[in-house]
Amino acid sequence: MSVDTPRRIVLLRHAKADWPQVSDHERPLADRGRRDAATAGRKLADTGLTFDLALCSTAARTRETWKLAVQELGHRPKTVYEDRLYEASPGEIVAVLNETPDDVTNLLVIGHNPGMHAVADGLAGQSDPDALAKLTRGGFPTATYAVLEFTGPWKSVELGTARLTDYWAPHD
C-alpha cells in the first residue's frame, strides 16, 4: 500500500457509563449506553468503512462499548486493548496513532473524553463544514464518533494534519 493512500481514523467515545461503587476503570455501561453502543455500531456499518484495526482503552466501559458496536459491523477487525488510551491526553493519543502499522488503512479508536474530543478537534486542520459545525455545536457526547482522513504514513499524524469528514452523535 502506498503512503499516498487516504487513511481514516475513527474516534469513538465510549457509550454512557453507570456509576456503581467500583473504580473508575471498572465502570460498566448504563442501560442507555448499551443501546447507544449498538446504535453507534450500526451507524459505523452504514459508513461502509471496513476497519483494519481497532484500538480500545482497557476500561470496562470502552471494552463493553466495543463488544456491542462490533456486533453490528460486517467485518470484525483485529482488536488491541491499549492501556495508554485510558485517561489519555491528545498528545498521548497521537503518540499511539503514530505507532500504527502502515498496512492499516482504516483505524478505529475507542476511548474517553476529554481526549477524544480534543484530538478530533486538534487533528482536523481542514473539515467538512457540516461535520465541523456538528462537532463544534455538539461537543463529543458518549457514543459519538468522528471520522478523520489524512494521507501519509501513520508516523506523520500530528495536530492539524487531518480532515474531519464525518461526525455522528446518538442524539443528533
Residues 6+ apart with CB under 8 A from 49: 8, 10, 106, 147
What's this model's pTM, rounded to 2 decimal places?
Answer: 0.96
Q: In degrees rounded to 5, what are phi and psi of residue 82?
A: -115, 110
Closest CA to 162 of 120, 134, 107: 120
- Cell 448499551 belongs to 34
Cell of 96: 499511539
1 in helix, strand or coil?
Answer: coil
What is the bridge-based pairing of β-strands 145-151 and 162-168?
antiparallel
What is the model's pLDDT at position 3?
60
For domain 6-168, give the fold.
Rossmann fold (3.40.50)
81-100: pLDDT as tens digits: 999 999 999 999 999 999 99
61-88: pLDDT as tens digits: 999 999 999 999 989 999 999 999 999 9
Q: From CA 133, how far away is CA 43, in angstroms rounded?
A: 19
**60 pLDDT higher than 90:** yes
The domain ranges of the chain are: 6-168
What is the model's pLDDT at position 71?
97
What is the model's pLDDT at position 2?
60
